[in-house]
Amino acid sequence: MWRVWSVIGMLVWGGTIFASASMNYLAGQQFGHTPSEARVFALLGLSADVWKAIGPIFILTLWRARRPVPAGLAAFVWIFCFIFAVSAALGLAARNRSAVIGEQQDLRLAYQDIESELAAVEKERSAFGVVPSPAEKEAAIAAVFAQVVPGGTVGAVSKDCAKDTPRTRNACAHVALLRQDLERSKDAAELERRASFLRHKRDVYRARGARREADPQSRLIASLSRGLVPVEDVSLVLILVLVVVVELVSAFAPVVVHEFVLTMRSPAQPARRRQVGGHRTETGPARTSLSAAKTVAALAPKVGALYDYLAERIEPDETGILAVSDLWGDYHLWCGNQGFAALTRRAFISELDAIAAGDLRDCIFWQGSNYRGLRFVS
């Protein structure tokens, strides 16, 4: 089952590192003024993100091997890579979110402008009341011009009321009133056409979702926070949380999965029962393996000189971890002090592996380049 969880963990890490690397690649491109420079900076951003992801493994391994200087240098570089990754991802995410929200906000503002203008036009049109159509007024004016007077018609004698004559004066006065009504009818008709156009435009914007909130998520979170986080700051907080989660997972998931796999690959250590004064008591594996019945003294006939070293310099420790290089160095120094000819490094490791896999299999475990379950004698 642990293999399934390991695969799931690596898949999650793969998704986050792909997202993080993509953001850093795109962010790096922005520093270039030409396509070639953009590619160079993009690769630099990608390299920084890769080191951010694998750096903790090197740091932990070097630290366990008691190499503080290279571990510190690796950590120093990793910190700057992590800062760059977070900063680049923040900038890219903020710009993309602003673009998405800004588009919806522009659409909503345009819709609100249309609503305001439509309300003003309808209010102005309602002030005219019921007005006959311009065609009706034009027909009424034409009828007055067609009236017969001495010498012809009103229109012919007065040249469409452009000339004042006693015979057409009353008729032209009526035409003047009709012309005023005609202008009102034309104005009302123009307002009606404008209102109809705005209604159609409003319906189009509604179909595009203009009535939706530009950022309902921010408004909801601001309401839930009871004003602690202003609406305009919610987007920034969400971006920060998202980026930090992605960068943390992409940075530390590899070392976590690595340690998890190493731990689960260690031999199982079932608890054992032993008889004490007529009662059965539960003992852990480490407690049993480290009991006096299995001391390293019992191994003397089997391992020879290496046993002497273990008996003098090494003692069991359930949480202790020693690197192979440290064990070999200490063994070599011990042999020199004792006047012994030291085994070769390969022979030393081979015999130590045989001991760990044999009589001490319950208390010494191989873990990467380290042995777990022992420590140097204080």
pLDDT value at residue 155:
80
Q: Give yes or no for residue 295 having a pLDDT over 50.
A: no
Q: Output 364-370 pairs: Cβ under 8 A, ≥24 positions apart.
A: 365/266, 365/267, 367/262, 367/263, 367/266, 367/321, 368/61, 368/262, 369/61, 369/65, 369/323, 369/324, 369/325, 370/64, 370/65, 370/321, 370/322, 370/323, 370/324
Between the alpha carbon of residue 198 and those of residues 79, 92, 116, 123, 184, the distances in Å are 57, 38, 10, 14, 21
pLDDT value at residue 232:
64
pTM of the model: 0.41
The whole-angstrom separation of Cα 290 and Cα 150 is: 139
Report the mean per-residue pLDDT for the chain.
75
**Residues 177 and 143 sit within 8 Å (Cβ to Cβ):** no
Collect all residues with Cβ–Cβ distance below 8 Å to 377 and sequence separation of at least 6: 312, 313, 314, 315
DSSP 3-state assignment of 231?
A: helix
DSSP 3-state assignment of 152?
A: strand
pLDDT confidence band for 298 (50 / 70 / 90): very low
pLDDT value at residue 300:
38
pLDDT value at residue 282:
42
Q: Give the distance from CA 138 to its chain's centroid.
A: 68
pLDDT value at residue 119:
92
Give the mean model confidence (pLDDT) for residues 368-373.
Answer: 79
pLDDT confidence band for 129 (50 / 70 / 90): confident
Give the tens place of pLDDT for each residue, 243-293: 676 777 777 777 777 677 766 664 444 433 333 333 344 444 434 344 433
Q: Where are the domains of the chain?
A: 2-107+216-262, 125-207, 282-376
Give the mean model confidence (pLDDT) for residues 4-9.
Answer: 76
Give the tens place of pLDDT for each residue, 107-124: 888 888 999 999 999 888
Query: For domain 282-376, is the CATH number 1.10.10?
Result: yes
Collect all residues with Cβ–Cβ distance below 8 Å to 294 and sequence separation of at least 6: 359, 360, 362, 363
Give the tens place of pLDDT for each residue, 217-244: 566 666 776 767 676 666 666 667 666 7
Among the residue ranges 13-27, 106-120, 169-183, 347-361, the one predicted with the least confidence is: 13-27
